Amino acid sequence: MKKKEAYQEKMDAQMKILNAKIEELNAKAQKAQAEAKIKYNKNLEELRMKRDALKSKLQEMKGAGEKASKELKAGIQNALDDLKTAVDKAFKRIKEE
């Protein structure tokens, strides 16, 4: 076998190894993307539930009398604070990734 042919075979073998590694990295990237998407969707669902709870409390307050409205304020404030905290945490997690 000539040196040129031996060299070409050696390079072909190294290319096969590198291609396999590239495909492995691609698979890991795809998996990470899928896992990240699942994680984000879970966080979004949690945020939507908290938002809907707050919306519900605000609707309840609109239909309530003056006395009941005062009593609902604490619950509304807690729901608002909870939602704000959850949104801030979600953005922080996104920045960290």
pLDDT digits (tens, 9 = 90+) for 39-74: 778 888 889 999 999 898 888 887 878 777 777 888
Q: Are the C-beta atoms of 57 and 72 separated by less than 8 Å?
A: yes
Q: Are the C-beta atoms of 61 and 76 separated by less than 8 Å?
A: yes
The number of folded domains in the chain is 1
The pTM (predicted TM-score) of the whole model is 0.65
Residue 67: which domain range? 3-96
Task: Tell me what percent of the residues of the chain surpass a pLDDT of 90.
Answer: 11
For residue 66, the 8-state DSSP code is: H
Q: Using only C-alpha atoms, what is the Rg of the chain? A: 28
Q: How far apart are CA 47 and CA 32, in angstroms?
A: 22
